[in-house]
Amino acid sequence: MHTIPLKLLTIIGESVLEDRLVRFLRDHGARGYTAYDVRGEGSRGVRSAHPDERNVKITTVVSPQVADAILEALAREYFPFYAVIAYVEEVHVVRGEKYI
Amino acid sequence: MHTIPLKLLTIIGESVLEDRLVRFLRDHGARGYTAYDVRGEGSRGVRSAHPDERNVKITTVVSPQVADAILEALAREYFPFYAVIAYVEEVHVVRGEKYI
Amino acid sequence: MHTIPLKLLTIIGESVLEDRLVRFLRDHGARGYTAYDVRGEGSRGVRSAHPDERNVKITTVVSPQVADAILEALAREYFPFYAVIAYVEEVHVVRGEKYI
């Protein structure tokens, strides 16, 4: 089956950031996204002061260039201010042309 | 730790397709699956006419051969008719023999 | 963008195991996690006796050494007794130093 290698970018942050992060992804070139609620604790090893606080996991399939642009902007605009986690994986996508 | 390299196949589509997609996966050789509700927008860059419409994300761990058979059948039977997204990742699985 | 290659470890099991699995991950070196409810069927190809039973998917970003330690301990302490699935993927993480 013909697939195209692309990047699956995952961002995890507080639920209140969802709309803003979705706009942010679009502004940097993402053409779609998936979001769902998660619970958890960050890598700082301490429970949040608000343990009931919901987090959101947002994933988007993008080109390597768009992934890089998003990570650069996240590092500049979000990481100094919010407990946001981001990582990138290699995926092989059917009809991947749609994402470029 | 001994692991086996396999394929993690992800399909995202409208929630109404869930039962059908699960049967479809089984019919093409998948031996298990995980499903959960997500929200989001497709890669066509337009909001759905039904923004409240739920999507489902289904993942399954399969052999490379089964992954390929599923993607081929998806491209033939789903992609022309439904807004379905599919991608494959490499995963390393403990007790991977169970999935082959 | 500078990223660090790490391991994304995923565990899927019965929801009743969540708290125990989270403690287990911490005890073996994980510094954070994400959990969410999923439905599905295992790789044994039979429906559970309790089809409404909820499963939980737990993911954590860890170093290769911690991933290996967790998989070894899972194989020893969980796999003989519970229908638990575990797999590992390679991810590239922004500010990955936090996870080591």
DSSP string, A10-78: EEEEEGGGHHHHHHHHHHTT---EEEEEEEEE-TTSS--SSTT--EEEEEEEE-HHHHHHHHHHHHHHT
A64-77 vs A18-27: helix axis angle to the nearest 10? 130
Say which of B32, B33, B92 has its CB closest to residue C87: B92
Model pLDDT, residue B45: 40
What number of C-beta contacts closer than 8 Å exist between B and C? 64
In the numeric block, the tokens 């022309």 are attached to B80
Label residue A46 by pLDDT band (50, 70, 90). Answer: very low
Report the C-alpha gap between C81 and C86 in whole angstroms. Answer: 14
Model pLDDT, residue C44: 44
What average pLDDT does the segment A2-26 reach? 95
Residues from chain C that touch A77, judged by Cβ atoms under 8 A, are: none
Task: Read off the tokens for B83.
Answer: 């807004």
Report the C-alpha gap between B81 and C49 in whole angstroms. Answer: 35
Supply the pTM of this predicted model: 0.91
Say which of A1, A32, A35 has its CB closest to residue B43: A32
Whether chain B has a CB inside 8 Å of the CB on A65: the answer is no
Q: Count H helices, E strands: chain B?
A: 2, 4
- Cβ contact A34–B43 (<8 Å): no
Model pLDDT, residue B83: 87
Model pLDDT, residue B9: 98
- CA triplet B55, B65, C36: central angle to 5 degrees? 30
What average pLDDT does the segment A42-62 reach? 71
Backbone angles phi, psi at C28, to 5 degrees: -100, 10
Model pLDDT, residue A54: 85
Say which of A38, A41, A75 has its CB closest to residue C94: A75
Which residues, in sequence order, are CB contacts of B63 under 8 Å at separation 6+?
B6, B7, B29, B99, B100
What's the half-sphere exposure (Cβ side, CA atoms, 13 Å) at A6?
A: 24
Label residue A44 by pLDDT band (50, 70, 90). Answer: very low
For B99, the closest chain C residue by CA position comes to: C43
Among the ranges given (A32-46, A69-83, B71-85, C65-79), the one the predictor scored with the smallest mean pLDDT = A32-46
Query: For residue A64, which amino acid is it?
Result: P
The model's pLDDT over B25-47, given as tens digits with 9 standing for 90+, comes to 999 999 999 999 999 987 544 44
Q: Are B5 and B67 in contact (CB under 8 A)?
A: no
What average pLDDT does the segment A30-51 reach? 74
In a mutational test of the A interface, the residue from B28, B41, B82 whose CB has the highest number of chain A CBs within 10 Å is B41
Is pLDDT of C63 > 60?
yes
The model's pLDDT over C2-18, given as tens digits with 9 standing for 90+, comes to 899 999 999 999 999 99
In a mutational test of the B interface, the residue from C74, C87, C88, C92 whose CB has the highest number of chain B CBs within 10 Å is C87
What average pLDDT does the segment A76-92 reach? 94
Model pLDDT, residue A28: 97
Residues of chain B with pLDDT under 70: 43-53
**DSSP 8-state assignment for residue B41:** E
What whole-number percentage of chain C has pLDDT above 70?
89
Q: Cα dihedral angle (A26, A32, A37, A43), rounded to 10 degrees?
A: -60
Query: For residue C71, which amino acid is it?
Result: L
In the predicted model, what is the mean pLDDT of chain A?
Answer: 89
